[in-house]
Chain A
């Protein structure tokens, strides 16, 4: 199965150097294990712009669409045998201690 790991982090936190090393090692481990299918880090939520169309009018606001104490900081797509294996990888995420990792199975493309 393929799943997306969404890394939610407490907003406004700064990545210490040791933490960066842990994240890099984590990403490398998924790559070396051959499970990684892709992924990106995201810029801080205050760099986001959110758009909604209401009655043909563009409503543009600064910031992310959801005002939540945890914000999406990045994501990867992994290919693993089952959900249990996906949970194993999520548990190794350095951000799982002070943030959260959401594991979302990908749907197959529509036929």
Chain B
């Protein structure tokens, strides 16, 4: 491998592993995320120019940090910032190779999910600043145009600077509240609801791995039980991914999935996280959702239905988080537990607001089929099919495969 190739590979590796850590460290000093990203991008370019000649430094991250800090100080002087010179001197005086770079990514994520930032910008902002994803890639997962997404991100970064949102860890009493919007953002990035009981399980789109990565960062840096609940829930869902489509791409509902395809290591990790969370003794939405996943899975693996426990979990979840997705999933659980009439009543009560809610129609199709109303089931399935983006789910619904065997 040539020196240039080695340098490029080292820079790429440093970028993947350390992007968020470096942005967090740089931005924590100035409160300016956009400037930190620009300086870091300059530092990467500088690395590609220098490393082929000088060899890759022992600690590439420390090298990048030093160069980026100089750039940042330089840029601030040019912008005429009053304390620019002092800041630049301070950074130049910072030892080049601290033994270990502190990890401020949690602070960075808290800033991204701050209440002063528009809710729809929070997760994209985390994906960009912590993982270094570009706006076009994020846009494709959020049904936005790259230009619109780039603009949303620029606005959010300007807001961080002008609102002076501090890069601090709040005290233990405020942390759970502040963290909850971080977790919401990660959950949103993972994909929309997970309701494969109802047969309405949309394909998990491109950001699942990145969302899991973000959740792992939060779990590593904070003791919050809900972060563990969220990670457990996503890992359980991820464990079943290989079983959710047949060889020819057709949708396979949970009840018919080949359990041999489920990932045992991911499931075990999820269960361990859930147990760890439970030790804290504070129940939360994500722990409940993870527990529901866990029950669905063990019911399939053992053949022992646990309808009572499942309904109790859904009731608790509906108390904490009465979202459309949760209430529809609860109705689906009612139907599968042998109460389709009660499920229909529950769906009807939700009805008017959910006219465009795909899972509502998919669940209704299943409920009507269980009640023996074939034409009502067909009509609901047609509506559900028209509201999905997933061709496999559309085909499943139009073919009437949601009917009880």
**A and B are partners in one complex rather than unrelated chains:** yes
Q: Which residues from chain A sit less than 8 Å from chain B, CB to CB? A: 18, 21-22, 25-26, 28-29, 32-33, 83-84, 87-88, 91-92, 94, 96-97
Residues of B within 8 A of A96 (CB): 389
Contact B386 A84 (CB under 8 A): no
In the complex, 16 of the A-B residue pairs with CB atoms within 8 angstroms, ordered by the A residue number, are A18-B399, A21-B382, A22-B394, A22-B395, A28-B382, A28-B383, A29-B383, A29-B387, A32-B355, A33-B355, A84-B144, A87-B144, A88-B143, A92-B389, A96-B389, A97-B391
Instruction: Evaluate whether A25 and B355 lie within 8 angstroms (CB atoms) in the complex, with A87-B143, A92-B387, A94-B391 already known.
Output: no
Apart from A18-B395, A26-B386: 16 A-B pairs, beta carbons within 8 A: A18-B398, A18-B399, A22-B385, A22-B398, A25-B386, A28-B382, A28-B383, A29-B387, A32-B383, A33-B356, A84-B143, A87-B143, A87-B144, A92-B389, A94-B394, A96-B389
Q: Which residues from chain B sit less than 8 Å from chain A, CB to CB? A: 143-144, 148, 355-356, 382-383, 385-389, 391, 394-395, 398-399
Distance between B4 CB and nearest chain A CB, rounded to angstroms: 39
Residues of A within 8 A of B355 (CB): 32-33
Residues of A within 8 A of B356 (CB): 33
The answer for the CA separation of A22 and B382 in the assembled complex, in Å, is 8
Residues of B within 8 A of A94 (CB): 391, 394
Distance between A96 CB and nearest chain B CB, rounded to angstroms: 8
Residues of A within 8 A of B399 (CB): 18
Residues of A within 8 A of B382 (CB): 21, 25, 28
Q: How many A-B residue pairs have CB under 8 A?
A: 42
By beta carbon, the residue of chain B nearest A103 is B145
The answer for the CA separation of A60 and B50 in the assembled complex, in Å, is 62
Residues of B within 8 A of A88 (CB): 143
Residues of A within 8 A of B394 (CB): 22, 94
The answer for the CA separation of A83 and B143 in the assembled complex, in Å, is 10
The answer for the CA separation of A108 and B356 in the assembled complex, in Å, is 28
Which of B144, B148, B398 makes the CB contact (< 8 A) with A21? B398
By beta carbon, the residue of chain B nearest A30 is B386
By beta carbon, the residue of chain A nearest B120 is A84
Which of B144, B148, B386, B398 makes the CB contact (< 8 A) with A92? B386
Distance between B365 CB and nearest chain A CB, rounded to angstroms: 12
By beta carbon, the residue of chain A nearest B397 is A25
The answer for the CA separation of A92 and B383 in the assembled complex, in Å, is 11
Instruction: Evaluate whether A29 and B386 lie within 8 angstroms (CB atoms) in the complex, with A18-B398, A21-B398, A97-B391 already known.
Output: yes
Contact B144 A25 (CB under 8 A): no
Distance between A108 CB and nearest chain B CB, rounded to angstroms: 22
A-B CB proximity, top 6 nearest: A29-B386, A25-B386, A25-B382, A91-B389, A26-B386, A87-B143
The answer for the CA separation of A83 and B251 in the assembled complex, in Å, is 30
Residues of B within 8 A of A25 (CB): 382-383, 385-386, 398
The answer for the CA separation of A32 and B148 in the assembled complex, in Å, is 29
Residues of A within 8 A of B389 (CB): 91-92, 96
The residue among A25, A32, A88 with the most chain B CB atoms within 10 A of its own CB is A25
By beta carbon, the residue of chain B nearest A35 is B356
The answer for the CA separation of A96 and B394 in the assembled complex, in Å, is 13
The answer for the CA separation of A103 and B389 in the assembled complex, in Å, is 16
The answer for the CA separation of A40 and B78 in the assembled complex, in Å, is 58
Distance between A71 CB and nearest chain B CB, rounded to angstroms: 21
By beta carbon, the residue of chain A nearest B355 is A33
By beta carbon, the residue of chain A nearest B394 is A22
The answer for the CA separation of A93 and B191 in the assembled complex, in Å, is 20
